Structure 1
Amino acid sequence: MISRRFHAFALAALMLVPASGWTATPLVVEAALDKDVVAPLLEAFEQAYPDIALDFRDRSTLQVDERVAEADPAPDVVISSAMPWQMARVNEGYARRLDSAEARDWPEWAKWRNEVFGFTFEPIVMAYRLDLSRHMMPPSTHADLHTLLTEQLELLRGRVTTYSPSRSGVGYTLFQQDARYTTRFWDLVAAMGNADAVLEANTRAMLEGISEGRYWLGYNLLGSYAMVWAQEHPEVIVQVPQDYSLVMMRMAFIHRDAPHPGAARAFLDFLLSRDGQRVIAGETPLFSVRPDVIGPYTAQRLRDQVGDRLYPIPLNASLLAFVDPQRRDAFMARWAREFDRAKSVE
């Protein structure tokens, strides 16, 4: 009996700790998350789990969603900021439940059925060139932005940028949420269309355009990316809207067909752990969720700074409505109509 127990223990140890020359356990993560931004978190995971060979693949939100259903073999872990798409895939049965202490203790508002977890808390912001103030007062609210697009139309024509709702899942999600929170949203869309706003597929393209001077003003950018960019590009100013600021979460789940479920569980647990969240709060601008973590980038610190003007996108079944084909088609039809409305009048 003793020899059998020792043999079983030895096998378990060999599974966790690779011997010299033995290939580490692979782990494939499909993520809509800039690798440069999340690098400190990935490095911390690799240090904590040297026996796991992390393959982190950074793609667009729509590409990540396609990989969930079409990749063969399936990825181990899926991460995306396109919250309705993530929820829809989980609802279709693509997620594997995580039964762990970290999962059970995770805040209820940031998880669903212990299958998908929001592990960041990221504000949505505006950004503008520093020299914009030489021409006009920079906007601090959505109403300010609408006023500028109306009163400074010729100066801003072709110099405003935002997400393309057809090419970006997160962009579509943010506009859907805007439409919920302000009755003047469609007036803003029409004003952007009248100003020949340029629709981009991601925040990086918007920030690059602002730095290069092609754009003066950007709307609905991911605050995490914008804040990192502004640290190295002093010509870019980031503004958290003062009337209300949407907050989105990166949602992560283990794929039901994960080829390496053990490594996947270790990775997701690390994202939720105090150690992982401490790295997020202190070394990335992604903003941690855990209330017991202290750092410059935490959900609580953001709440303290912005107060009740923060509007987190809820992580619950209500997200499924946003990917309903009829609702999406109706929204996109109205977007096209409003965005082109002023042009047709002219």
Structure 2
Amino acid sequence: MRYLVTLILCLFASGAGAQDWEDRQIFNESADGPRLRVISSTDTALFAPLIEDFVAQNPAISVEYLVTGTADIDRRVRATPEAFDVVVSSAMDLQLKLANDGYALALNDLPHPPWAQWHQSLFAFTSEPATIVVNRTAFEGQPMPQTRQELIEALRARPDDFRGKVGTYDVRQSGLGYLFATQDARASETYWRLMEVLGGLDVRLYCCSGDMINDLADGTIAVAYNVLGSYAAVRTEGKDALQIILPSDFQTTMMRTAMVTGKSRLPEEAETFVRHLTTLNPESMAALPLLDTQDSTTESAAIALDPALLTFLDTLKRRKFLSAWESAAIQK
């Protein structure tokens, strides 16, 4: 029986390695010790400095870093939780549901402020806002919008200039996009007016922030709404034509979270990795191009890591929200 279980796990690992990923990299491949499998929604280029810092401090451990979308992370972890040791995602609601449904291992002796963790199973380690990113050339000679209402007015004033030139997440596919959209809608009715305006301008829909920024940079679109701040800051560096706007009416800020899977093959090493994320030193952060790390002494103004996050994951509420979103954003 033990041989059969081992054979099944080996076959599974072989099949898992053949899966399609947005990116897959191995750090410290020559290490003689165990290999952690980390599934994450964060682009490797953004996260690599942190992993490199981790393996430098833990030279016996290698890390297989697997990148996919937030919604896909949820599906894969639920289907094969034993395939992964650590889960890192920007979709706080999906992460909280995974933890709440028993897919996370409790780390009872990991010190972390109450507002930045859930039942010692899910731990926030960065705070990152949703932003508006614009191509400055589209607003030349015009006031730069600083609120959602001002953006609505700017788009309505020149519809021919912005038709087909605005972008946002396809919230039907993007877990982070859905989180931002539901939180925006809870905060203000302005969100729905903005979606109707974007829909009337034939909004382009995206899976992720990186693709939106690419299209902004080459002029395919002029405005991108709800771009993740960490990506915007890195990808717009050196691109004078692009400007990041933090809306002054209200900000939607998510916390990137990590968990050790309940069926991790390497729970001790996985816990060491999560501890590393939650105790980053200034030297590590200097090399990590994400935005603010959590301050263990100050409560974050980000979306709360609490049961309210689960509201829009209810099947009926999600269906109702997506129906309203499609009516506003897809006007065909």
Q: TM-score normalised by the shorter chain: which range applies?
A: 0.7 to 0.9
TM-superposition CA deviations, 1:9-67 (whole Å, max 9, x none): xxxxxxxxxxxx97221100000111101221111101011111111111111111112
For 1:42, give the aligned amino acid. Answer: I
Contact 2:92 2:255 survives alignment (8 Å):
yes
Aligned-pair CA distance for 1:218:
0.7
CA distance in 1 between counterparts of 2:195 and 2:155 reads 10
Alpha-carbon distance, 1:278 to partner: 5.3
Superimposed CA distance per residue, residues 192-233 of structure 1 (whole angstroms, 9 cap, x where no aligned partner): 100111010100010000001000111100000000011132
Q: Which amino acid aligns with 1:333?
A: S
> Residues 22 and 116 (structure 1 numbering): CA distance in 2 closer, same or farther, change over 3 Å?
closer
Q: Equivalent pairs: percent with the same residue? A: 30
Quote the residue 2:79 is aligned against. 70
Within the candidate set 302, 309, 320, 2:310 is matched to: 320
Q: Structure 2: any 5+ residue segments left out of the alignment? A: 1-29
Larger Cα Rg: Structure 1 or Structure 2? 1
Q: 1:202 aligns with which of 196, 199, 208?
A: 208
Unpaired segments ≥5 residues, structure 1: 1-20, 293-298, 304-310
In structure 2, give the amino acid aligned to 1:288.
T
Identify the match of residue 235 of structure 1 among 224, 241, 249. Answer: 241
Corresponding residue for 2:320? 330
How large is the RMSD of aligned CA atoms in angstroms? 1.9
- Aligned with 1:38 (options 47, 50, 56): 47
**Residue of 285, 307, 328 corresponding to 2:290:** 285
Would the aligned equivalents of 1:248 and 1:312 in 2 still touch at CA under 8 Å? Answer: yes
Aligned pair partner of 1:156 in 155, 162, 177? 162
> Partner amino acid for 1:52?
I
Which whole-Å CA distance do the structure 2 matches of 1:324 and 1:192 have between them? 26
- Alignment partner of 1:180 out of 180, 186, 196: 186
Give secondary structure in 1 for the equivalent of 2:126: coil
Correspondence list, 1:255-266, <5 A: 255-266=261-272
Matches of 1:112 and 1:176, distance apart in 2: 20
Any conservation in 2 of the 1:164–1:199 contact (CA below 8 Å)?
A: yes
2:57 partner amino acid: A
Look up the SS of the partner of 1:120 in the other structure.
Answer: strand
Matched residue pairs, number? 303
Cα distance between partner residues in 2 of 1:179 and 1:141: 15
> Which amino acid in structure 2 is aligned with residue 280 of structure 1?
M
2:329 equivalent in structure 1: 339
Cα 1:30–1:208, aligned 2, differ >3 Å: closer, same or farther?
same
1:281 touches 1:288 (CA, 8 Å); kept in 2? no
User: Do residues 219 (structure 1) and 225 (structure 2) align?
Assistant: yes
The Cα of 1:287 is off from its aligned counterpart by 1.5
- For 2:7, the equivalent position in structure 1 comes to none
Structure 2 partner of 1:93: 102
Q: Give TM-score scaled by structure 2 length.
A: 0.86
Match of 1:118 among 118, 124, 128: 124
Could you tell me whether the CA contact under 8 Å between 2:203 and 2:329 is conserved in 1?
Answer: no
Q: Does the aligned pair in 2 maintain the 1:156–1:216 contact within 8 Å?
A: yes
**Aligned structure 1 segments of 4 or more residues deviating by more than 6 angstroms:** none
1:250 aligns with 2:256: yes
CA contact (8 A) 1:80 1:252 kept: yes
- Aligned equivalents of 2:243 and 2:97: distance in 1? 35
Q: TM-score, normalised by structure 1?
A: 0.83
Report if aligned partners of 1:166, 1:172 keep a CA contact under 8 Å in 2.
Answer: yes
In the other structure, the counterpart of 2:138 is 132
**Structure 2 matches for 1:74-85, cutoff 5 A?**
74-85=83-94
User: Match for 2:56 among 28, 36, 47?
Assistant: 47
How far apart are residue 130 of structure 1 and its match?
A: 2.4
